[in-house]
Amino acid sequence: MACDSAGTIGMHTGQAPDRRMQQAAARRLIPFFGQSRKFARSDFDEFDLILAMDRQNLEDLKSAKPHEDCRAEIKLFGDFVDVSEQPDVPDPYYGGEGGFDIVLDMVEGGCDQLIEHILNR
- Phi, psi at 73, each rounded to 5°: -90, 135
91 domain-assigned? yes
Domain with residue 77: its CATH number is 3.40.50.2300
- With a cut of 80, say whether residue 83 has pLDDT above it: no
User: Which carries the bigger pLDDT value, residue 63 or residue 121?
Assistant: 63
Is 104:25 a contact under the CB 8 Å cutoff? yes
Q: Which residues contact 8 (CB under 8 A, 6 or more apart)?
A: 38, 39, 57, 60, 61
Q: Residue 95: what pLDDT? A: 77
pTM higher than 0.75 = yes
Query: Helix-strand-coil percent breakdown of the chain, rounded to 5?
Result: 40, 10, 50
What's the mean pLDDT in 107-114? 92
For the chain, the domain total comes to 1
Q: Residue 42: what pLDDT? A: 94
Q: What tens digit of pLDDT does each residue of 33-80 get?
A: 899 999 999 999 999 999 999 999 999 999 999 888 889 999 999 999
84 domain-assigned? yes
